[in-house]
Structure 1
């Protein structure tokens, strides 16, 4: 896709509230780092009280994935998770509005050789991300260390779409962006030896996936990871970004390639992907986006695990 360009139509009065939102977001992003963390935690506590549907989804996910924890332990984990969700909004502002120099002071990176070695051989890399709350700022960190092409889903609001793309692409030199449906573009990039960011850990239905276990639950898992690796002749290299305690910054870890992918068996590859993701979630459960309905697609005859959250959504639609 071509780089985002400003258009006069974005100044239409209907978009003024969005511009005001971004002006406020920009100002908040200029605050000292620890202040932003504190604001983020406060916002997370507010979300915990007001976002009842998302709270219900997160509670159900934690109950399914960590049945060994007591109710009190899961309640504490839920609280820390919403703190993390609030901080993620502050980190998005940091990623989009702070300078690369400011950001570079706040992270360390390990394992960058796992990205560089395949590309020295002319081999592409599927850079496997996961939906931790550090996703946005982590993508900025990676873009500053390595040329990474990204996946992109347009936003309905054109001003938000413009600012989102500008924010995401500002730290990466010579990076390209592909719409999520542009599979051919991604494959061409991989065959050219480029690194392409991809996150396979959300429920996109079963039409392009398989049920693979995650925390002992059947999870609809996209098979695109192994298909990209096979058709693009690429390696699958995971990475993870952890927010450190006490405002100490971030630790970025690039892991060795999952060499078993592609195995020729898409179910086996999906199992390997979920096993890796589950291991990372067990290491750092409080910073994952548990507010997403990871288990919304169910095998035939299996009960809906988010029934109460669905009822609340339907009630809100009826009021409208």
Structure 2
């Protein structure tokens, strides 16, 4: 068997030329007016629904699993709206990363800021319980208008894309922390900082437990309670929604009471319940194209 080709790691690697061209086009598109970006994004989403069959299948499967109370027609309609919303998110990313002339703060409404203020008044660090809504990247820019915060992220395998995302987000954050760097997260929280952390994706079964998400077993990392415990931080839900007319709202919920407990599995189940509560408010804007139920308990059938 031949050796497996190594992925490029240097930004100057010739194999990354297409990625650099794509990044340039991404910058160019991002200069368009905001409402035009959203309109193009919806077009991209509609096109994606018809052409990107694998992701359409993932979104529809997730919707069928999580919303069994809907009719088949309603499930398809919700899945389609979620894919269209994903298209909007791609163009939002281009604008929020690359167009600093747009005054997005004028489009923003904040709800629940008193929960952040209360935690800070107590001298606590704040672990923002983030969620993978489609508006995640524009959300990082909007959040930076009202808070000095750090964000936790998983590096992209493509160094050009990784640079684009990290640089784009860090324009509005104090800094970023790799998902594997628990020590740095704890250090920041102990110093009274605000840290955005989203545990709502399937990262595999290592350091994870199977707890319900919309009633379906979902592999969920247990690190949230451990980080909160070691960092002595308040855990505050943070959701962000896209409103009609290109406006946005960021909603902070009350800090989770009696969290963390002595039971990591119970804490993790509570995290999923909390996220589910906010997703149900605007389900079409959640990242359903992600294989949230990729891993299942032994003996369970595959979901995708």
Q: 2:251 aligns with which of 246, 253, 269?
A: 253
Q: Which moved more, 1:209-218 or 1:123-132?
A: 209-218
CA distance in 2, matches of 1:304, 1:159: 33
Q: TM-score, normalised by structure 2?
A: 0.92
Q: How far apart are residue 239 of structure 1 and its match?
A: 0.9
1:97 corresponds in structure 2 to 98
CA distance in 1, matches of 2:240, 2:19: 29
Q: How far apart are residue 205 of structure 1 and its match?
A: 2.3
How has the CA–CA distance of structure 1 residues 271 and 10 changed in structure 2, closer, same or farther, with 3 Å as cutoff?
A: closer
CA distance in 2, matches of 1:12, 1:216: 46
Q: Which moved more, 1:117-126 or 1:229-238?
A: 117-126
For structure 2, which runs of at least 5 residues remain unmatched after alignment?
1-9
CA distance in 1, matches of 2:14, 2:58: 36
1:53 corresponds in structure 2 to 54
Partner SS, residue 105 of structure 1: helix
CA distance in 1, matches of 2:199, 2:67: 21
Q: Say whether 1:273 aligns with 2:271.
A: yes
Residues 36 and 87 in structure 1, CA contact (< 8 A), matched pair in contact too: yes
Q: How far apart are residue 12 of structure 1 and its match?
A: 5.7
2:216 corresponds in structure 1 to 217
1:30 corresponds in structure 2 to 31
CA distance in 2, matches of 1:304, 1:10: 38
Task: Report runs of 4+ in structure 1 exceeding 6 Å deviation.
Answer: none
Q: How far apart are residue 300 of structure 1 and its match?
A: 1.5
2:165 corresponds in structure 1 to 164
CA distance in 2, matches of 1:240, 1:98: 23
Instruction: Give deviations 1:86-111, integer Å, cap 9, x for gaps.
Output: 00001111221122762212211122
Q: Say whether 1:289 aligns with 2:287.
A: yes
Q: How far apart are residue 248 of structure 1 and its match?
A: 4.1
For structure 1, which runs of at least 5 residues remain unmatched after alignment?
1-8, 307-320
1:318 corresponds in structure 2 to none
Tell me which protein shows more helix as a share of its residues.
1
Q: How far apart are residue 303 of structure 1 and its match?
A: 1.0
Residues 210 and 221 in structure 1, CA contact (< 8 A), matched pair in contact too: yes
2:182 corresponds in structure 1 to 183
CA distance in 2, matches of 1:205, 1:303: 16
Number of aligned residue pairs: 295
Partner SS, residue 103 of structure 2: helix
Q: How far apart are residue 224 of structure 1 and its match?
A: 0.9
CA distance in 2, matches of 1:249, 1:166: 24
CA distance in 1, matches of 2:156, 2:267: 31
Partner SS, residue 110 of structure 2: strand
CA distance in 2, matches of 1:143, 1:235: 19
Q: Pairwise CA RMSD of aligned residues?
A: 1.6
2:17 corresponds in structure 1 to 16
Q: TM-score, normalised by structure 1?
A: 0.88
